[in-house]
Structure 1
Amino acid sequence: MTPARFEEIAARFERFSRARPRLYRWTLGLLGAAGLGFVAFWLLLAGGLLALLVVGMAARPNAALLKLGIPLAILAWSLLKATWVRFERPEGIALSREDAPAAWAELDRLRRLGNLPRIHRLLVDDRLNAAMAQTPRLGILGWPHNDVLVGMPLLLALGPDTFRAVLAHELGHLSGRHGRMGARVHRVRATLRQAVEALAARNSRLTGVFRAFLDWYGPWFQAASFALARQQEREADRFSAAATDARTAADALVASALAGWALEERYDPALRRRPAFEPAAPEGHLAWMEETLRAAGTDEEAPQALARALKARATAGDTHPSLAERLEALGQEPRVPPAPRRSAASAFLGPCQRRVQTELESRWRASVAEAWERAHQDGKRDAGRLAELDARAGAAPLDVDEACERVALVERMHGSAEALPLALESAARHPDHALARFQLGRLLLRRQDAAGLPHLDRAMALDEGATLPAAQLIAGYHLAEGRTADAAPWIERVRSIEAAEAVAEAERAQVRAGDLVEPHGLGREDVEKFAAALRGHPRVKKAWLARKKLVHFPERARVYVVGVTRRGAWYRLESSGAQAKLAQELADVLGLARVFVMVDGAGARPMIKKLRKVGERIV
């Protein structure tokens, strides 16, 4: 299914869900049942035919029946595995009623208000998020286990009232059987995905017909079910407003959006720069995060950040309505909420807040310790290189490569604001250099400055390799500005390039006997490197070098093929495993990427024959 077709189906079902919400749910349920029914039909058919074949084989052993039974057994087993969908329970620090009585009291109040089922666990993790997770304990038979998961950053960012609204929103997903319906949709999606993956390696006609249906139905059902998630989000917002009030529910949405902006634009960039100056991950990073989050509403750029968030529009593939749509549904004007006097963490966790934060910080430091140490070493190296470039720039203008390197180092170590003047200077001095133009365009768009667009256009014209990242940036810029129509062609372009890149990568990932080869086109020095690596190996008798003939982007990332005949005639008695082991050993000896070694023997003879005709003998 093309991206445009996916968007069209998702948009059509979104309109249907708004006009006839109950009928839409019934329709989606029937569509899901049809997909599972298709899988079940083929599973029963394959199982029944397999049973008949077993009976026939028992009565009269027959090689033809055995040959027919193998693909049937593979299909039945693959489908049986696909129907077993596991629902993983969320992870986090579990808080009992004794640990956080205020939080549990609020959960009990919301349950009574909405006549909701029992909450089994309250979990805290380190993400800026809150979620309601229903996990069927008996799989297909149901009996859900209900877990509420809240992130410490969200508890630190919001006040008690706005956090109540967030908590109410999440519990609102328990009303109207949200969790049960969502689990059914998830089960259909997961079953179809697992069925496709299980059959992906099978190329028989029997599995090919089945895969063709799943390749069509799976994306179609996924597009149709997106509207369910949006419908449930709107219903959960209404429960949030009923549990608090519409103004508080709206402020909670805005405060959460601003907290996300503060983390992305203030906290994360500063955190990424710290390894350059600190040898180990710091203690108390959540306290530092809290300062950033609590200051989000008073930040001088907060109104502009909110304006950008309100411009953004949900695409057909988004599971949540846009912020502007959600505020409009609540009947509230957007505003930057007043700063809370007290955090929700303090109000709802009480004395256990310190223990939870300490444990989360300890887990975080352990998880980043190794990467932090590497980043520290890289940071020291970057600092030395930047000092060198600064000194040289003070004496004379840098060449274009050094100027671009300096821009990248300054951004990495000091932030985009300090890198922008250097990027302006670099692009002015080198207007026809793709990287200089790309750097400037990216930094300008990061500030939502449309002046970056022509620089990215120029970068794409100068270097085809800049097209994908530039298109991604341009699409993101238009989406952030609420111009979905302007973003659409760029999104389509990104998807088209990514699809082409995936096909090209798959073409380069292996060499088969049926592939075409051509002369290698290497210089004598490079050829000698291949020859020298193989010449002294005791098992190599002769070797030929050629290049795989590529269809997709043949001018880049070339793939070389080395064909080898072994010493001694006894190799014909060796197993295919020994043949593959020697091929891998020789590839390791060469130590080069994109080089495949074909060792004479079963399966490799057609390629060896081609290499003898087209390639150059190097041993």
Structure 2
Amino acid sequence: MEKRDYEMLVWSLEAEAREQPALFRAKVILISLSAYLLLLGLLGGVGLISWGLFSWVRHGWRLFPTLALIGWLLAALPVLAISARMLLSRLDAPQGRALKAAEAPRLFRLIERLRSQLKAPAIHTVLLTHDFNAAIAQVPRFGLFGGHRNYLILGLPFLNTVAPKEMMAVLAHEYGHLAGSHGKLSAWIYRQRRTFASLHEHASQRREEDVINGVFATLLDRFAPYYNAYTFVLSRQNEYEADAVAGRLAGAEASAAGLVRSELLAEWLQQEFWPKLYQQAAQRANPSFMPYAAMRKIAAATMPEWASKERLQAAWQRDSGVHDTHPCLRERVQALDQPCALPPALSVTAADALLGESLASLTREFDQRWWDGEKGQWQEYHRRHTRATSRIAELSGQPMEHLDASAAQELALLLAEYQGSAAAKPVLAHLLGRSGERYPKPVYYYGRVLLDEGDSKGLDYLEEAARLSPGLANDSLRAGYAWLYEQQGEAAADQWLQQLQSLMTD
């Protein structure tokens, strides 16, 4: 199915789900059951044919039946093994630091209150993680036969930067999935999608080898896009229903404020907080602050930057995609009947209110774990950066014409890596202006510099780099394709890529 056709299918199914949500859910369940019956029927047919061939051989050894049985089993057994393994496999339990009720009694009391109000199943394990996120995971212990355990996953950065009422809304949203039986259905659908994806990949790679894989691949080619579209829309419908639960229990205003705050903070953490923390490695062998201890204070101090009207408008204008089951911010807030508004400043965070006295020790624990994992790479980068800075100073102190080609290339590449492409441009231009052998990496980096400046001539240098060095071909193709896709659209990027690939294979 073409991309546009898939998008149209998703949009039409979303309209159907809005008009008749219960009927749509029943349809998804029916499609899923039908898929299982089809799969089991196919596997049963494979088994019957295998048994028939075996019976034929057993009544008297003959060459042709024996060869037929061997060939059939060689084709059928891998399919049977993959199907059985995927149908019966266990989903991995989520990872994190398990919290005990004694460590966070207020959090566990809130969880129990929400469970009682929603008449939802119990949470078996509460996990604290390093992610800016909150989620419910329902994991079957016995594969297809169930035995579910419910995990509540809370990111310490999330707790540290949202309001208590907003955190309550998030917990109500996540619990709403369980209360609405979303968890078991979602886990079941996730397993089924994984099963069919594995079978599809296996059969597609071998569709020309034998009849079994050809039949499987053809059926799954037709089934997969429709099943993915139906289950995607169901998952998105579940999100709206869980938002409605959050609005009812925590209030629509707090729910909307939490959605806006988390959207803006997630972008700030990714684009500002973590990059600036890691930038210290260039100058310091140890960070000047630890992330989890500082995150809350820095988020509060920089709120005018990340919670600005401009950032909110940019987030508000983003549309929902057809790959992320979470609707866009605008549609979620409007579904709660709330306006586009910035969240209020915090006086108390959810971590303060729900983790209480354990917050300090948990923060130290998470900071220590982060540093234990990062220390080696951090300090190695610091050593390399220090050596590179010294070498750049040494080479830059000499007239460019006095540097041989090897030294000039070294200077250009060091500048590109540690100071950016703009700093390397003069050296790259000088090096490429010399007569004699062309070095692939300077050609590649110069092409990237030109593209960064909006100059399409950079594509010519990327093409040259790809021809000069097969090792740079993939990087050159990706860089050129991404630039053309952004500047001129997918058609122009595809045409350029195809032309370059054909030239390289000639």
| Residue deviations 1:504-544 (CA, integer Å, cap 9, x gap) | 9xxxxxxxxxxxxxxxxxxxxxxxxxxxxxxxxxxxxxxxx
In the TM superposition, residue 97 of structure 1 has moved relative to its aligned partner by 1.4
Paired residue for 1:113?
A: 117
Paired residue for 1:49?
A: 49
Paired residue for 2:504?
A: 555
1:133 aligns with 2:82: no
Paired residue for 2:479?
A: 469
| Residue deviations 1:41-98 (CA, integer Å, cap 9, x gap) | 1111111222233333333233333323323334333332332242111111111211
Paired residue for 1:103?
A: 107
In the TM superposition, residue 407 of structure 1 has moved relative to its aligned partner by 5.7
Paired residue for 1:253?
A: 259
Distance 2:16 2:44 in 1: 34
Paired residue for 1:410?
A: 419
Secondary structure in 2 matching 1:150: strand
8 Å Cα contact 2:446-2:461 kept in structure 1: no
Counterpart selection for 1:293 from 268, 289, 299: 299
Counterpart selection for 1:213 from 215, 219, 222: 219
Distance 1:340 1:301, change over 3 A: closer
- Which stretch shifts more, 215-224 or 130-139? 215-224
Percent of residue pairs identical = 25
| Residue deviations 1:569-605 (CA, integer Å, cap 9, x gap) | xxxxxxxxxxxxxxxxxxxxxxxxxxxxxxxxxxxxx
Letter in 2 for 1:169: H
In the TM superposition, residue 19 of structure 1 has moved relative to its aligned partner by 2.5
Paired residue for 1:230?
A: 236
Distance 1:405 1:375, change over 3 A: closer
Letter in 2 for 1:192: F
Distance 1:440 1:291 in 2: 40
Distance 2:227 2:415 in 1: 49
Paired residue for 1:93?
A: 97
In the TM superposition, residue 193 of structure 1 has moved relative to its aligned partner by 1.7
In the TM superposition, residue 224 of structure 1 has moved relative to its aligned partner by 2.7
In the TM superposition, residue 10 of structure 1 has moved relative to its aligned partner by 2.3
In the TM superposition, residue 107 of structure 1 has moved relative to its aligned partner by 0.8
Q: TM-score if structure 2 supplies the norm length?
A: 0.82
Distance 1:62 1:349, change over 3 A: farther
State how 1:591-602 maps to structure 2 within 5 Å. none
In the TM superposition, residue 128 of structure 1 has moved relative to its aligned partner by 0.5
In the TM superposition, residue 262 of structure 1 has moved relative to its aligned partner by 1.7
Letter in 2 for 1:254: V
8 Å Cα contact 2:182-2:238 kept in structure 1: yes
Larger of the two Rg values belongs to structure: 1
Letter in 1 for 2:479: P
8 Å Cα contact 1:468-1:494 kept in structure 2: no
Letter in 1 for 2:189: V
In the TM superposition, residue 127 of structure 1 has moved relative to its aligned partner by 0.5
In the TM superposition, residue 368 of structure 1 has moved relative to its aligned partner by 2.5
8 Å Cα contact 2:79-2:199 kept in structure 1: no
Counterpart selection for 2:272 from 258, 266, 270: 266
Distance 1:305 1:426 in 2: 38
Secondary structure in 2 matching 1:135: strand
State how 1:103-502 maps to structure 2 within 5 Å. 103-199=107-203, 202=206, 203-279=209-285, 284-299=290-305, 302-388=308-394, 406=415, 408-411=417-420, 438-439=448-449, 455=454, 459-460=458-459, 463-464=462-463, 468-469=478-479, 472=482, 489-490=489-490
Secondary structure in 1 matching 2:303: coil
Distance 1:260 1:456 in 2: 33
Letter in 1 for 2:372: A
Distance 1:356 1:300, change over 3 A: closer
Distance 1:348 1:473 in 2: 47
State how 1:570-589 maps to structure 2 within 5 Å. none
Count of matched residue pairs: 475
Q: TM-score if structure 1 supplies the norm length?
A: 0.68
Distance 2:46 2:306 in 1: 66
| Residue deviations 1:264-312 (CA, integer Å, cap 9, x gap) | 2221211232222233567733113333333342227733222221121
Distance 1:351 1:495 in 2: 57
List alignment gaps of at least 5 residues for structure 1: 412-418, 443-451, 478-485, 505-551, 559-619
Secondary structure in 1 matching 2:189: helix
Letter in 1 for 2:52: L
Paired residue for 1:617?
A: none
Distance 2:427 2:339 in 1: 44
Distance 1:122 1:427, change over 3 A: same
Paired residue for 2:34?
A: 34
- Which stretch shifts more, 456-465 or 352-361? 456-465
Distance 1:242 1:494, change over 3 A: farther
Distance 1:158 1:473 in 2: 37
Distance 1:383 1:313 in 2: 44
8 Å Cα contact 1:90-1:147 kept in structure 2: yes
In the TM superposition, residue 28 of structure 1 has moved relative to its aligned partner by 1.6
Distance 1:353 1:305 in 2: 30
8 Å Cα contact 1:126-1:152 kept in structure 2: yes
Distance 1:300 1:207, change over 3 A: closer
Q: CA RMSD in A?
A: 3.7
Distance 1:185 1:496 in 2: 38
Letter in 2 for 1:48: L
Distance 1:426 1:305 in 2: 38
Highest relative contact order (Cα 8 Å, sep 6+), 1 or 2? 2
Distance 2:479 2:308 in 1: 28
Distance 2:247 2:175 in 1: 12
8 Å Cα contact 2:122-2:150 kept in structure 1: yes
Distance 2:351 2:492 in 1: 44
Distance 2:427 2:400 in 1: 14
| Residue deviations 1:404-434 (CA, integer Å, cap 9, x gap) | 86465235xxxxxxx88x699999999x998
8 Å Cα contact 1:459-1:466 kept in structure 2: no
Distance 1:44 1:131 in 2: 38
